[in-house]
Amino acid sequence: MNGPLSQLLQGISQGRPDIILSALVVVVLLLLVCFPVHEFAHALVATKLGDDTPRLYGRVTLNPIAHLDLFGSILFLIFGFGWAKPVPVLPNRLNGNPRTSMAIVAFAGPASNVLLAVAFAILYRVSEPLLGTGGPVMNYVIPYALQTAVFLNLILALFNLIPIPPLDGSRILAALLPDQGAQIMDQLERYGFLVLMLVLVALPSLMSSLITEPAANVTRLLLGY
């Protein structure tokens, strides 16, 4: 167990308010900001492209309650990875080529998290002269929250670009493949979650090199340190 719940319990047992605050910041940012913005982007773009299914399901909103998946949220708290509820989209209702339009809808999620990371980085840069000049809030909580917001959004963007169903990267790849390759991707969909779990468990170093390390490098670049 290496999720924020473990970190929170560690902070409580050690009487460390800094560790407790760190865990709470991660939980709030991911569950109440990163996940909802990601799914909202999918829903909004799908609606703009002609499919009103997300609107009918109440997903064109930033309200976290509409997007959070109970099981995915619990897994995130315990293990440090999880997911939100996928936005229902009917490709045949989208304008233009269904695969291309679906790829655009899929790309909207990771793109929204990259934009959010840039926004938090700008906020950090603008407020940087004031950080570290006051009490614990200005010295620790706000800087940590902004830095973590940048990192988590980049992690979420890169993770979702992995071309394994049901992640967004698989939809993007399907649009680039010839029809036969796209059909193979469609067939892989039913086993995608299992394949993804096997990759996460069996190849953690690969996931680190593809996701964690690039996200950390870009975070340092955006924050200027």
SS (H, E, C) the chain: CCCHHHHHHHHHHHCCHHHHHHHHHHHHHHHHHHHHHHHHHHHHHHHHCCCCHHHHCCCCCCCHHHHECHHHHHHHHHHCCCCECCCCCCHHHCCCCHHHHHHHHHHHHHHHHHHHHHHHHHHHHHHHHHCCCCCHHHHHHHHHHHHHHHHHHHHHHHHHCCCCCCCHHHHHHHHHCCHHHHHHHHHHHHHHHHHHHHHHHHCHHHHHHHHHHHHHHHHHHHHCC
39: annotated active-site residue: yes
From the list 39, 128, 189, 213, the catalytic residue is: 39
List residues with catalytic annotation.
Answer: 39
